Structure 1
């Protein structure tokens, strides 16, 4: 295919100037095909092309052309907050055209009215769904929707929201759906009423292979998809292949199925990095910056410090955002040579490498205790697609590690020579379907059963299943007082409106409602346990040793009785562990102590705190709308304590920006207990916190009380 020169594009000259400043003189083949199929003319498109093939630029051209030619607003939806921030930074270029760019994620109980003044809005799928529910006036102006990482529709947890957003978006404006991997793209394009751009073109060719032990000790063979092979030498296959790539000035991403494996593999690789040429000065700077991260645990920082000095790091959700950011940036800057990660990295930030090693093709199924399963082909494609850095590599390599030569053909057939799984509707569960119905009633006017039927017919759900769920959903929502029927119209009750605005799972709402109306005031642990036990609660793993300890340490009566079912008991104990973590947190137990006591990472703790912050807020509002004053009072205080992890007396101080649990306790212990006392004692505050920080805190305290 001929590639279009930027100069010949029928677009504004200022757009061309911005592209040229980025070094783009012509569009690549997928981008060219998208333009030929109407990208610049508001045509709905489904673009399926590999990682690094320029899908983001296609989205930018589509959005900007639409806004300049037709006005309105454009939303770019992503499945992950990290991607939201990444795209926001990229899109800021377009402010040179007078377009205003904003991003929003989290905080579901708001209509973000401030976004009325912005043209391009980057949001997570959940946030976009939440904004529709709030009926903010500006949301009606959005008539161009970019749906990124659209294959997330196959994710059991995120898929229902992605599908729900797609159903609305195709009714309200132009859709541009983007993905690296969709097997049944023709069916999906037809469903979206969009034309297709589907290509295997990559800016850097990919060599896919399988890595296995050879006939001699310390010999390992890479058998490639095209029939060629080569050998690498070393102590184990992952180390041997990794060192081979690094010795040729490459970088490697190694994917392992668990955090434990990722950390152990990083340590093992680091033991052989003495033979590799590294930039010791820059590695030392990166390692030192790890020590300064405020939101990381001491043990994590020490482990990463020692690894980074050797050019290696591990990466998983257990690490704090601050630690992950440093690791990702140092890898992008080619200072760190190897990252050993869990598969979540493949679905997140843009982090290409010369080579990718997939160390495991099995993983544990958390829902079936003791059961392992093959990873999906889509997951393999997401990981292998990270191989090959545009501008650095002539080709990328991805290898799957197997134990014996006899497994090579099986893996080749299952992953290297196979199409990805088809996208299918994930609305086929009661929880997902009921939430979908509630969201439509909350966001549309004059909703009747016919209105809902039309929306349901627009989903990917099999028609018979949709029909079966429809009546069941209406009856359940009516019985549980989420909705009311007035003649032919369906409306939200006061309770239903609050639940929709809070963006709570309907089953979470019913659990909270039932427990609070059935019980009198309880202990802090009981409230935390109830909230963690809901479908929206955070999950943590439980070891056999912890099971008895958790029950033995239980010192007050819980709202929810211990179940007999093994799976429910597992959830019950997970929720109890979360409750203990949260109680320690609000009692100001040292963060390192919490991490060590419960065997979690700093990233886990932050995720638990964020979720429980939202759930205590939601619980408070459920109690409020139900008129349960006793519970309302307890939950309100718990919510105020959860975010910063403080005892009740520190609540006034942590309301001042810049004051967290440690600084608040320091000020309080020296007799400064309120924002007013901060203002009255500026010199003492500077003495305790340091001159610069102290002065800033005094200014913030003054703002906080005005």
Structure 2
């Protein structure tokens, strides 16, 4: 394996200076090979190498070299907002070379024209896809795209968007990055790029299994090294063993409930482990003070963190997840028990990764447990080994039966992940793709649409089949029209594309609102949640019987007979009831307990329903359903902050949320003008410092309005 000194780079000295400030003195073998293959000359590359092998630095070298030589702009794309923020903070280093770094995610009905002032733009795949549809002037100046975590191409949810972005981006200079692509030859050929692929890791990985056998557990590594530990729980036994040796542990479980239960069990045994009580108390107090989480989850995580253990899943608020991740990076927390979503997120290495479950429940097939994909295991195991702290990382799969050892080794440890395949091969994804093409490119004839669509990863025969059906369906449903032998978006199609909603979502909203009388708030929320873009949430057996009884007004959609459809119907109804409580100002802790959800779930539901009420209002406006549009517009203003209608004027002020707004309103401060006219009263209610800030923000808002 060859390393390259920074002096051998033949790069602008300013680039070398920035890298050296990070404590880097040489490039590792993956980075060296990428440089030799033309990374800094703007060559198109697909780089596949393990987690922690320095792919971000390769992206920086590629982007900065290109910008210094060619000018223009570079866009760095990630699949997750958390990653977007992480990369944005990293890239700020390059502002010393006078490159302005900007970041954008969310708010899909916007062209973000302000980004014209930035040279490096960090964003998500969804946001970039929506930007192309809005055609901001600055996008034509982007000639370099970095597509990070490119294996998301294989993800059933995000894959279609990743592929849509790649089809457009590969017309320019492109750098694609991934930890796991087994069929890299096919993917690099599709991108028109050279492949740089290696298994080199900065911290070697030892993989194996851990098998429970009565009151002992046996660890068997790939190199046949074995270890026997006492204990009736393999996860707890190996976790304690690792901590006693100064390591940190990531445990992955297949459900939130299992993650939380396992964290409690480990914490109960942690008095046997060496802990820094002062550091852990500081972490626990940060958890207690976070302001975007429910009281019960804060209390539980406070108590767990005092033992150096926490759980982590999407049900937690953003604030809680950030505290947990930072404390683990700082090596204060010793154990995180997480669901697999953490493995695909931010960079969070540990000495040991324990994969507790190789099966997960498939909700669509009652009682059916399916094996996890190899790709998912590779993502989890890739977190093992902390550069700078560990000589090697360990990844262990927990088995309940010795007879499974050979099978698990063969499938997960000794095999490559599943090949990357197109996820555009369904009506919903492909019709959305077609709508995006026409939105970005304008009017196209059928041959031009065919040529564009054949640039996807799908087989030509499948493309041709979906094209015929898609053009016909979009035409029949008034998304597109044919004029002068070219297909163009209709007014309705343009609005749907700008809103960045699925065409099937738009059709559902239009079909019901165009023929229905206005209804109650719950009915609107249920309709929006029942669309393909609606938030999905679990419904327990006990809840299924209760939910229908709680629908206190006629819904737009009748109860279906099909069992699968009924589950989706009830899930949408549960979402609707949650959002109704939210806008009625029900206390957040009561909502979380009433519906058995986490603060992260509530935030996610609110964010999605904020977007869908906004979209629904605009779709209703296009079809001239004026009363529906007006009602949805008011609901949109209420959903964002969770308020009754009388608080809408107050929550427009930055820093005024639902609780402060209600306190002010109950004390006869009902508008921004009231705040400006009564600053001393506001300070008395909210405190001197906050009151002063709110008064200034209210004045700014009034100045903007008038």
Aligning the two structures, in what range does the TM-score lie when normalised by the shorter sequence?
Answer: over 0.9
Distance 2:487 2:10 in 1: 47
Corresponding position of 1:196: 195
Corresponding position of 1:65: 65
Equivalent residues in 2 for 1:316-395 (5 A)? 316-395=313-392
Per-residue deviation, 1:2: 2.6
Corresponding position of 2:120: 120
Per-residue deviation, 1:133: 0.5
Q: 1:332-391, CA deviations, whole angstroms, 9 ceiling, x for partnerless residues?
A: 000000000000000001000000000000011233332211000000000000000000
Distance 1:371 1:124 in 2: 34
Q: 1:194-225, CA deviations, whole angstroms, 9 ceiling, x for partnerless residues?
A: 101110000000000000024xx432111111
Corresponding position of 1:25: 25
Distance 1:333 1:235 in 2: 31
Greater shift in the superposed pair: 334-343 or 483-492: 483-492
- Secondary structure of the residue aligned to 1:600 is coil
Moved over 3 A (4+): none
Q: 1:638-658, CA deviations, whole angstroms, 9 ceiling, x for partnerless residues?
A: 000000000000000000000
Corresponding position of 2:180: 181
The answer as to 2:7 corresponding to 1:7 is: yes
- Secondary structure of the residue aligned to 2:641 is coil
Q: 1:412-437, CA deviations, whole angstroms, 9 ceiling, x for partnerless residues?
A: 01100111000000000000000001
Corresponding position of 1:252: 249
Q: 1:87-114, CA deviations, whole angstroms, 9 ceiling, x for partnerless residues?
A: 0000000011011111100000000000
Distance 1:601 1:28 in 2: 42
Corresponding position of 1:149: 149
Per-residue deviation, 1:627: 1.0
Q: Say whether the 8 Å CA contact 1:499–1:506 is kept in structure 2.
A: yes
The answer as to 2:290 corresponding to 1:293 is: yes
Per-residue deviation, 1:71: 0.9
Equivalent residues in 2 for 1:229-628 (5 A)? 229-628=226-625
Q: 1:23-69, CA deviations, whole angstroms, 9 ceiling, x for partnerless residues?
A: 11110000000000010011100000000000000000000000000
Per-residue deviation, 1:446: 4.0
Q: 1:440-489, CA deviations, whole angstroms, 9 ceiling, x for partnerless residues?
A: 10011442212211111111111111111111100111111111111121
The answer as to 2:134 corresponding to 1:137 is: no
Corresponding position of 1:45: 45
- Secondary structure of the residue aligned to 1:643 is helix
- Secondary structure of the residue aligned to 1:75 is strand
Distance 2:333 2:256 in 1: 19
Q: Say whether the 8 Å CA contact 2:509–2:528 is kept in structure 1.
A: yes
Corresponding position of 1:166: 166
Q: Say whether the 8 Å CA contact 2:75–2:144 is kept in structure 1.
A: yes
Equivalent residues in 2 for 1:81-92 (5 A)? 81-92=81-92
Greater shift in the superposed pair: 346-355 or 542-551: 542-551
Q: Say whether the 8 Å CA contact 1:233–1:241 is kept in structure 2.
A: no
The answer as to 2:96 corresponding to 1:96 is: yes
How many residue pairs match? The answer is 703
- Secondary structure of the residue aligned to 1:46 is strand
Distance 2:343 2:426 in 1: 27
Distance 1:291 1:95 in 2: 36
Q: 1:492-529, CA deviations, whole angstroms, 9 ceiling, x for partnerless residues?
A: 11111110000000000000000000101111110000
Greater shift in the superposed pair: 447-456 or 76-85: 447-456
Q: Say whether the 8 Å CA contact 2:212–2:232 is kept in structure 1.
A: no
TM-score by length of 2: 0.99
- Secondary structure of the residue aligned to 1:705 is helix
Distance 2:2 2:583 in 1: 62
TM-score by length of 1: 0.99
- Secondary structure of the residue aligned to 2:229 is strand
Q: 1:303-359, CA deviations, whole angstroms, 9 ceiling, x for partnerless residues?
A: 101000000000000000011111111100000000000000000010000000000
Per-residue deviation, 1:235: 3.2
- Secondary structure of the residue aligned to 1:630 is helix
Greater shift in the superposed pair: 219-228 or 126-135: 219-228
Greater shift in the superposed pair: 518-527 or 484-493: 484-493
Distance 2:294 2:550 in 1: 25
The answer as to 2:216 corresponding to 1:222 is: no
Which residue among 636, 640, 647 is the counterpart of 1:639?
636
Q: 1:165-203, CA deviations, whole angstroms, 9 ceiling, x for partnerless residues?
A: 1111112x1111100001111111111111011100000
Gap regions ≥5 residues in structure 1: none
How large is the RMSD of aligned CA atoms in angstroms? 0.8
Per-residue deviation, 1:8: 1.7
Per-residue deviation, 1:10: 1.7
